[in-house]
Structure 1
Amino acid sequence: MKTGKTVITDPFWLRYRSVVRREMIPYQWKVLNDEIDVNIERERNDSSIPNEKSHALENFRIAAGIHEGHHYGWVFQDSDVYKWLEAVAYSLMEEPDESLKKMADSVVDLIAQAQEDDGYLGTYFTIEEPYRKFKSLMNSHELYCAGHFMEAAAAYYEAVGNQKVLDTAMKLAEHIEKALGPDGEFGYDGHEEIEIGLMKLYHLTGEERYLRLSNYFLRIRGTDEDFFGDQKKTDPGKKPVIGGMDQLTRRYFQVHKPPVEQDTAEGHAVRLVYLCTAMADVAASSGDQDMLDACRRIWRNIVDRRMYITGGIGSTVHGEAFTFDYDLPNDTMYCETCASVGLIFFAAQMLRNESVGEYGDVMERALYNTVLSGTALDGKHFFYVNPLEVNPAASQLDPGKSHVKPVRPEWLGCACCPPNLARLLASVDRYIYTVKENQCLVNLYISSTADLTVSGGSVKITQQTDYPESGTIRIQVSAQQDHPFDLGLRIPGWSRTYEVTMDGNEAGCSSGVYKNGYFYIRNLTGEHEIILILCMEPRFWRADPRVRDDVGKVALTRGPVVYCLEEVDNGKNLHLLSVDPAGKTEGETEDGELGHIIRITADGRRIREPEDGQSLYRPADETEPQEENVRLSFIPYYTWANRGSNEMSVWVRTV
């Protein structure tokens, strides 16, 4: 899998990666280690969600026999530690830090101590119910946690060469293969992830057994419609591992039919995109056409009918799930940060299968909007849910909107998102390019220097750009003369126009060709300078009219960045505002409490609020709303909620 090294030099992304390294990782360590007092909020109105402390690392100490006590938190609490470790690995690849490495090494030692002699690893069942291992797979998250550890182990071994972490992961994989592989008991986890982790081990070690086991879990999923129910009948536990899961349908778990037969995005959004990530990876690694075809069908359903303009997915809090086509409510949606992280993983794997620019477009859309919105600018507050419309009063007083937070909490009762966000932001460099055979795709425009191996030869690519502020990308290429390759520049679907020149001459690109969202310059060798210019003008978008909540409304974007209105800039009752899509828009850079941004103003109207004492309902033929001209102020969506609790809206009525 590894085809080279990319070093980011981009100020925009260096700031975020610095926040991850200097703020997010140390902060999360302190929370996971219960070293600081933080306000842990439940992500929705559910008293069963644990919110006293993290206890994640303490669970490992108890499982290892270092301390005595009981497990606390979710059954999948271990995965918070694993994702943190993976984020540390990517951070160390970017910038060595001996103190951070020492901290991570101690975590590896602790995990290895918590592993049982036969290879089993899972603190809840080791501590509380050892007789119940793999007996409640619908809810136990044992393989889910194992997958996250395998991902972390592969990354940390690559970063520092820690043999213990790899040995521990391989021992765990061997145990799972014996227990649940083709020669073991039939079974698969209710939450997909083991399949991704096994593929990470496969790409690192080259051992086919991991590819085969990942493929096996994907192939047997959904083939026995009674599996979860049958396990429940023989489960020796006295109560469900996670309460309330029995009421969920088979679609929630993506087991309503085998994955290769599925056509639509169903159930828990994170589970679905993790499933698809693994399927696309297996397809790219083994050439399984039916698996790739299923990925294409599900992708089309997501992008064409079930994805928000911000790259968010998951339309309801009930099951954190997809619902039905074109059901995209803005104020009750879910759009979990983890789901958009997973959507990026899915898109990246699809690019390995086929060079289609839409995959890069969606990757970029999710990254610059929902993913970045998932963290405050300080790196110490996090969204679980990423709404497109917020009224703080509704969040506080409407139980049906308790999951919609007007400000980011310090921590969450279910803390899957903060470390997931950290590991993605720390590894953004891995998504800039896709290399396969004699082709190098430029997926993300981020100032960086990459040393790659393409078509068997060494290639150095340097990007210089102020993207997404500027649409000008300068790319310098140095390639071996005897190893020609094709360079594909992604042309985003949002750009009205594009211009490509090579070595100062547009004619130098006469051999270039546009195909499926990429502009290819063929048979590159030697040294060249390529300049790509994209159109970055502000642009209004309408949703498909079948999206009920967006009829008569528009959303504003500039480049890949979605914009929104906030109360602090535009006053209360944002629903009284309307915008003129044909009116004048102006962008102006500013450096302030939201960082370095481009603020966009646009012509609009505001309905005047009536005086108190008037009837709640009045005859339409006797009254006309009184309106006034206003200038609306839009900010990048990813920066909202950094100035206190206030209203926010992405979609705005048109005049």
Structure 2
Amino acid sequence: YSGMADIATEYGDDTLRVALDRLWDDLMTKSLYVTGGLGPSAHNEGFTSDYDLPNETAYAETCASVGLVFWASRMLGMGPNARYADMMERALYNGSISGLSLDGSLFFYENPLESRGGHHRWKWHRCPCCPPNIGRMVASIGSYFYGLADDALAVHLYGDSSARFEIAGRQVTLVQTSNYPWDGAVAIEVGPEAPVAFTLHLRVPVWCRKAALRVNGKLVDLEAATVDGYAAIRREWRQGDKVELDLEMSMARLFANPQVRQDIGRVALARGPLIYCVEETDDGGGLHRIALPREARLEAHKEPNLLGGVVTLSAIGSRAETESWGADLYRREPPATEATKLKAVPYFAWDNREPGEMLVWLREG
């Protein structure tokens, strides 16, 4: 589909655009994992039926998420639209880079959303397609950050970076300063070789509930400036102009469509673009016995010495006890529960410590 999108862009073929949007909508609404993974079945390395998204047996090949990043990037060639960029970001930060261990030595072929402790990264695989795909995605990351037109520049992704473009016949340097995705503060310094007029498009992610935008300290009316999820700033840019975008990194509970039978009555946790999971090394075994009450308060914690430096989430949940149950397989009375403190880590970083269970979709208490 990436090639199809390239042709639609190059030749302005609206018939291909309609078909691409139909394919995109079908994937987004019926067949995509919350991590940006796709393809539930190992049998055909592909799709089964609508809303069939098993967690423990999810195939969700690393290459498939990388391919989604590529496809979304090509769709953005037709113009800035957050429906593509938001998903490019989710697949990039979750379903793709989860495929590589933090030290770069091991890789996942499949990326399930639940593990009883037996799923681990490979040192090598009889079909070693995933490592080079991750490598080429990372090596070409700059092409996903920005989109360029004759008199416009779109910023699709945020993070420390420096890039140079030719816009309206002028050389323009753009320097981003940010600790994204851990922090939502983004500072962009615009440096044209000479004053030049162009439109700067800045993505306002769908997950962000509150955002503020300033140009040289002056507040911009985001509601009036935003089209298709991008704030458009048209002006004559000069050396030293500064753009400040503040994106609230709020925590969120995510729920699946009720037609996804595997996730009914369950909740997933997110902060900014990152999906979270719980691991046995933090929360003990028997993760399936944990429930997160709807009224439980979520808290975020910066942990610079954990997993290379991450933000974790915590909450007070409940765990079904086994000690008081006895030997019976079934009883009339429900199991006793005890309060337990939950700790969740970014999904991309799981299986980088002691081996054990992992779970994305928690039971809702």
The question of a shared fold, defined as TM-score above 0.5 by the shorter chain, is answered with yes
Greater strand share, 1 or 2?
A: 2
Distance 1:480 1:359 in 2: 32
Tell me which of 560, 578, 595 is aligned to 2:273: 560
SS at match of 1:366: helix
Distance 1:511 1:555 in 2: 29
Tell me which of 609, 624, 637 is aligned to 2:334: 624
Shift of 1:486: 0.6
Shift of 1:503: 0.7
1:330/1:429 CA distance change after superposition, 3 Å: same
Gaps of 5+ in 1: 1-275, 396-405
1:524/1:549 CA distance change after superposition, 3 Å: farther
SS at match of 2:174: strand
Residue 517 (structure 1) aligned with residue 242 (structure 2): no
CA contact (8 A) 2:325 2:335 kept: no
TM-score, normalising length: structure 1? 0.54
SS at match of 1:592: coil
Shift of 1:456: 3.0
SS at match of 2:304: strand
Q: Please report the RMSD computed on the Cα atoms of aligned residues, expressed in angstroms.
A: 1.7
Distance 1:426 1:482 in 2: 32
Distance 2:234 2:222 in 1: 10
SS at match of 1:544: coil
1:139-194, CA deviations, whole angstroms, 9 ceiling, x for partnerless residues?
xxxxxxxxxxxxxxxxxxxxxxxxxxxxxxxxxxxxxxxxxxxxxxxxxxxxxxxx
1:32-78, CA deviations, whole angstroms, 9 ceiling, x for partnerless residues?
xxxxxxxxxxxxxxxxxxxxxxxxxxxxxxxxxxxxxxxxxxxxxxx
1:277 aligns with: 2
2:68 aligns with: 343
How many residues are aligned here? 364
Give percent identity, aligned residues only.
40
Q: One-letter code of the match for 2:226?
A: Y
Q: Which runs of structure 2 are paired with 1:82-481 in the superposition (5 Å)? A: 276-392=1-117, 395=118, 406-479=119-192
CA contact (8 A) 1:314 1:321 kept: yes
1:594 aligns with: 307
Q: One-letter code of the match for 2:340?
A: V
1:75-122, CA deviations, whole angstroms, 9 ceiling, x for partnerless residues?
xxxxxxxxxxxxxxxxxxxxxxxxxxxxxxxxxxxxxxxxxxxxxxxx
Distance 1:456 1:329 in 2: 52
Shift of 1:288: 2.0
Distance 1:375 1:599 in 2: 20
Distance 1:277 1:344 in 2: 10
SS at match of 2:196: coil
CA contact (8 A) 2:77 2:147 kept: yes
1:488 aligns with: 201
Higher relative contact order (CA 8 A, sep 6+): 2
TM-score, normalising length: structure 2? 0.96
1:615 aligns with: 328
SS at match of 1:285: helix
Moved more, 538-547 or 610-619: 610-619
CA contact (8 A) 1:446 1:463 kept: yes
Distance 2:236 2:145 in 1: 19
Residue 526 (structure 1) aligned with residue 251 (structure 2): no
Moved more, 554-563 or 608-617: 608-617
Distance 2:71 2:169 in 1: 27
SS at match of 1:373: helix
Gaps of 5+ in 2: none
CA contact (8 A) 1:479 1:524 kept: no
Tell me which of 344, 348, 355 is aligned to 1:638: 348
